[in-house]
Amino acid sequence: MTRYLARKVVIYLLTFFVAVTIDWAIPRFMPGDPIEGLLSRMKAQPGATEELTGYYSHAFGFDVPLWQQYLNFWAALLHGDLGRSIANFPTPVSELIMGALPYTLALLIPAILLSFWAGNKTGALAARRKVLDNTVLPASYVLTATPQMWLGIVLAWLFASTWAIFPVSGAYGLDVQPEWSLEFATSFLHHWILPFSALFLVAFGGWAIGMRNMIIYELESDYSNYLTALGAPSKLVRKYAYRNALLPQITGLALALGAVVAGAIVVEIVFSYPGLGTLTLSAIQNRDYFLIQGIFLFLITGVLIANFVIDLVYVVIDPRTRVGMQGGS
């Protein structure tokens, strides 16, 4: 158990180190100079350019060699300092991320968990009912092959533009402000449904197909046949099949997390939802090194932690892994 965990931790730390290094490097190798962009937006008078360039270069630590910038970056990071946004100087990057994070989580967590739960349930049912199999399966194939962004646009067009049931964009109405009130909560949910649906439906399709195929496979396996031959009720057989079929799905969840996060980013942009996705877009457009870095760092850490948790869950739910680690046979 300890060896298993230790190995996992080392792998995750290594991945983290490499990912963070790439994260640091990429914005710096993008074409375009962020300080020039800032001066251009300021419409700084020519006489002031030199003074301002010097000031901002120093403020952002660009006036030292690259290797030193890299070391400074790690030093700051280990102190929890993600730096200051360039485009919105001097707002701390962490403040911008913390502002956007709740909106992204409010979309992501329900979308991931509910689609996993509902998709697997539906897939398992579809494996046993002809009618469901003939309806849910093709629909699921279409859904899972649909890019979240495109589905988002279609939903917005149908439900927000054509029928005007839901709002087109934003996370809450223009006449309310974020606070504890019924008006805000209602408005928030009203705005949340479409982007949530775009994420939920695509993921749902994938889980349903996976589960349906796994159940069919499990029901035809030796242990199912043996149980049936023993006269076990079919309900019990199906229960065992479901639990076995769930294992690869959980591995799939770990693998899919990155894709879901990427999907959330584009869906947010479609709905102008003020989460990390929209923030990422504006950060890239403004060559805001520190903000881009900070957001990706957050995503990297989030995905790694989620994967680690799934690794741990695996130990709990799969007796074989547990037994294997304890050296039993």
Partner 1 sequence: MMATRRARGVGALVAMAALVAAIAALTAGGAGAGGQTAFALPRAQTLYISGNQWSPNVDLNPAKNWDYVTGLVGFAYETPFRYDPLSDKFIPWLASAGKWTSKTTYTMTVRSGVKWSDGQTMTPQDVKYSFDILKLATHPQHALWQDTGLKSTKVQGRNVVFTFGGTPGIQQFDFYRFNVAIVPQHVFQKYSKTEITTGNLSDPKKIVGTGPYAYESGVGASSETVVWKKRDGWWGTSALGLSVGPTYIVDIKNGTNAAALANLLRGNIDLFNNFAPKSAIRGQFKTYFDRAPYHLGANTTWLFPNTTKKPLDDKQFRRALANSINMGQIISKAYQGLVAKASPTGLLPIWDKWVDPKVVKQLGFSYSPGKAKAMLAAAGYKDTDGDGYVENKDGSAIDLKIVCPNGWSDWMTAIQVIADSAKAVGIKVTASFPEYSTLVDDRGHARYDLLLANDRQYSNTPWTYYQYIYQLPILDNQTTVNYERYTSPSAWSAVQALDKIPSSNTRAYQAVMSKLQRSFLQDLPAIPLWYNGMWSMVNTKYWTGWPSAQNGRFTPTSWRNYWQMTAIDMLTHLRPAKQS
- Between 15 and 91, name the residue whose CB sits nearer to partner 1: 91
CB of 194 to partner 1, least distance (A): 12
DSSP string for residues in 262-286: HHHHHHHHHTT-TTHHHHHHHHHHT
When the beta carbons of 317 and 323 are compared against partner 1, the nearer one is 317
Long-range contact set of residues 295-298: C-beta below 8 Å, sequence gap at least 24? 295/97, 296/23, 297/20, 297/23, 297/77, 297/82, 298/97, 298/101
| One-letter amino acid for residue 105 of the chain | L
Neighbours of 134 (CB within 10 A): 10
With CB under 8 A as the contact rule, the residue among 239, 255, 262, 324 that binds partner 1 is 239
CA distance 53 to 60: 11
125 is a site residue for partner 1 (CB under 8 A): no
Read off the DSSP letter of residue 86.
S
| Contact residue for partner 1 among 24, 60, 73, 116 (CB under 8 A) | 116
Interface with partner 1 (CB under 8 A), residue from 20, 82, 87, 202: 87
Show the site string, 241-260: x = touches partner 1 by CB under 8 A, - = not.
-xx-----------------
Q: Which of 202, 287, 297, 298 binds partner 1 (CB under 8 A)?
A: 287
Number of shown-chain residues binding partner 1 (CB under 8 A): 86
Between CA 178 and CA 107 the distance in angstroms is: 16
CB 301 within 8 A of CB 16: yes
Residues in 1-30 at the binding interface with partner 1, rule: CB under 8 A: 30
Residue 12 has, within 13 A of its CA and on its CB side, a CA count of: 18
Q: Which stretch binds partner 1 (CB under 8 A): 63-71, 202-210, 247-255, 283-291?
A: 283-291
Minimum distance of partner 1 from residue 184's CB (angstroms): 7
Q: List all residues 6 or more positions away from 5 whose beta carbon is below 8 Å from its beta carbon.
A: none
Smaller CB distance to partner 1: residue 5 or 44?
Answer: 44
Q: What counts of helices (H) and strands (E) characterise the chain?
A: 13, 0
Instruction: Residue 283: name the closest of 86, 149, 76, 139 by CA.
Output: 86
Q: Which of 36, 147, 225, 234 binds partner 1 (CB under 8 A)?
A: 36
Q: Is 220 in the site for partner 1 (CB under 8 A)?
A: no
| Alpha-carbon span 207 to 225, nearest angstrom | 25
- Residues 163-202 contacting partner 1, CB under 8 A: 164, 168-181, 183-185, 188, 192
84 SS3 class? strand
Least separation, in Å, of the C-beta of 272 and partner 1?
Answer: 3
Report residue 6 as tokens: 């230790």
- Which parts of 37-66 interact with partner 1 (CB under 8 A)? 37, 39-53, 55, 59
What does the angle CA 316 – CA 263 – CA 159 come to, to the nearest 5 degrees? Answer: 115
**Chosen residue from 282, 314, 318, 321 binding partner 1 by CB under 8 A:** 282
Candidates 4-12, 15-23, 100-108, 141-149; binding stretch for partner 1 (CB under 8 A): 100-108
